Structure 1
């Protein structure tokens, strides 16, 4: 059993930039991302410069037992709505046999942050159609899926499914 002391979301800082890019570029994360190309250092630095100064964004580091285990991104924060996404240290968590517990915990913490810290009423996001495991986990957390749409990204056609969760529909922790 992991105590809540060992789990946390904290604001990302300049010191996290390289780690965020390394995690985002893990093949498992690229395979389920709309932008699937490997993110360059310059591209990432430009993203961070823009993102870290944007009041409609929050980038959080998910730590598990004192180690960076993922990144949670809230964006388009406006009033009581925002969009979000996250990715985990797929390689490190798999190596330690911690993928599923980390995934459940980051979703619990991120949705709590969205509704309790940011004061949101509606949280939205997107998932690729072929990402059946994430779609199943989203349903477990009571996200609903919208109408799929076709897009072109990084030279490939993908089907993107919008998701949403209303505050009153979320799972409450014990």
Structure 2
């Protein structure tokens, strides 16, 4: 289940984002400070072109989904899971599939987007494989410098017409 994030979720979001597994697959891999996170939330929470959602699994927060650069027909997204807890419970793969289904459904069915974009690090082969499973296509690699390191980033895109249809829909 996805729900809108609130001010009460601020520390949860930062804690999950700062998990080592999530930082290792993020363009900006440094630990986010409380002040940095509060400044981000102050801008994000009032920005009509952004949505921050909490992914819940079995009644517990299990991840964060962000949508940004939202226009009438397109937007970008990203997400991260509670890697530590889900790995410990053996629920990472089912949660990952579920959050992707729910997030792409939200993008196309709730937000009414025609196109959803994002980015993935080239070395993140597991996410790239899952993205292909969900019919995202990759663009040309781009080299960037973030947190004192060079990273290769691949843009990704999924269109409403090419998405995997939810079960029960034709």
Distance in structure 2 (CA, Å) of the matches to 1:71 and 1:151: 24
Instruction: Structure 2: state its 5+ residue gaps.
Output: none
**Among candidates 125, 148, 152, match of residue 159 of structure 1:** 152
Partner of 2:37: 44
Partner of 1:138: 131
Cα distance, 1:18 vs structure 2: 0.2
Partner of 1:27: 20
Partner of 1:170: 163
Distance in structure 1 (CA, Å) of the matches to 2:166 and 2:92: 20
TM-score in terms of structure 2 length: 0.98
Instruction: Structure 1: state its 5+ residue gaps.
Output: 1-7
* CA deviation vs aligned residue, 1:95-147 (integer Å, no higher than 9, x gap): 11100000000000000000000000000000000000000000000000000
The alignment's C-alpha RMSD in Å is 0.3
SS at 1:135 equivalent: helix
Pairs within 5 Å for 1:1-174 = 8-174=1-167
Distance in structure 2 (CA, Å) of the matches to 1:92 and 1:42: 25
SS at 2:70 equivalent: strand
Distance in structure 2 (CA, Å) of the matches to 1:36 and 1:149: 17
Cα distance, 1:172 vs structure 2: 1.1
* CA deviation vs aligned residue, 1:11-40 (integer Å, no higher than 9, x gap): 000000000000000000000000000000
